[in-house]
């Protein structure tokens, strides 16, 4: 399949029709991570559902933080490794191919967790014929993969870290409220491009507790 390239923030990304074409608006996620980075603890970035790798790799370049990327699609992982080799020279990029909850060690903690899961309700998928079904199909209600990402993010974000989750507008963020709470997280801000494109900023509830000082233990390397 023929490959294409496009500029994405500080990167030149290579991709093809077997992965989701990079959306320029999703630089919001990487740039927001960079904006927050100076006030976060030391530690790596974790990207879930990383596809060809552009969002996490842009965030790594902009923040100077090492990066772990996870995707279940072997072809996406191959592209992500190639894009890292071509674009990221100053930090380490570890691309792991496998299921989300099996690809991160139990003791691993991250200062930043990024997630761009498939989030379309299944009955909307035919409206996007150019996109690989696996990259956009979020199940019957669109929430299957966002729920899984929240569970992994909640388990692996550092106590004073942040999670940045892409969603199908602010309405989908609201629909995920029980899952956010179940993951030990809370939504503290949402930035939108329009009513169908949003990024939610979440933090661990324990890091914002008023009952005592936040747990400031450094995250494992």
| Tens digit of each residue's pLDDT (9 = 90 or more) over 31-54 | 999 999 999 999 999 999 999 999
The topology (CATH level 3) of 21-207 is Rossmann fold (3.40.50)
Instruction: Write down the pLDDT at residue 1.
Output: 76
State how far the Cα of 4 lies from the Cα of 135, in Å rounded to an integer.
Answer: 18
Mean pLDDT, contiguous 10-residue spans, the chain (221 residues) = 94 97 96 98 98 98 98 98 97 97 96 97 96 95 98 98 98 98 98 95 75 41 41
Instruction: Write down the pLDDT at residue 220.
Output: 41
State how far the Cα of 62 lies from the Cα of 123, in Å rounded to an integer.
Answer: 37
Give which of 25, 20, 18, 21 is closest to 9, Cα–Cα. Answer: 25
Instruction: Write down the pLDDT at residue 219.
Output: 42
State how far the Cα of 117 lies from the Cα of 127, in Å rounded to an integer.
Answer: 18
Sequence spans of domains, the chain: 21-207
State how far the Cα of 186 lies from the Cα of 206, in Å rounded to an integer.
Answer: 10
Instruction: Write down the pLDDT at residue 209.
Output: 45
Question: Quick check: pTM over 0.85?
Answer: yes
Alpha helices per DSSP H over the chain? 27-37, 54-63, 74-87, 133-136, 144-156, 169-175, 177-182
Residue position matching structure tokens 């139990």: 106
């Amino acid at each position: 399949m023929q490959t294409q390239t496009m500029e994405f923030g500080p990167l030149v990304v290579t991709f093809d029709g077997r992965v989701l074409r990079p959306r320029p608006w999703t630089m919001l996620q990487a740039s927001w991570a960079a904006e927050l980075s100076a006030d976060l603890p030391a530690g790596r970035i974790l990207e879930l559902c990383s596809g060809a790798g552009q969002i996490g790799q842009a965030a790594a370049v902009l923040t100077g933080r090492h990066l772990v990327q996870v995707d279940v699609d072997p072809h996406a992982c191959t592209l992500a490794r190639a894009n890292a080799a071509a674009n990221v020279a100053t930090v380490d990029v570890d691309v792991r191919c496998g299921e989300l909850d099996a690809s991160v060690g139990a003791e691993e903690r991250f200062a930043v967790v990024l997630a761009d899961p498939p989030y379309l309700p299944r009955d909307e998928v035919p409206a996007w014929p150019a996109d690989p079904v696996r990259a956009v199909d979020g199940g019957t209600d669109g929430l299957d993969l966002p729920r899984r990402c929240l569970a992994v993010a909640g388990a692996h974000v550092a106590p004073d870290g942040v999670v940045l989750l892409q969603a199908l507008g602010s309405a989908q963020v609201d629909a995920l409220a029980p899952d956010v709470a179940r993951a030990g997280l809370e939504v503290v801000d949402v930035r939108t491009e329009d009513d169908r494109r949003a990024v939610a900023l979440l933090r661990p509830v324990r890091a914002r507790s008023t009952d005592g000082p936040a747990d400031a233990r450094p995250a494992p390397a």
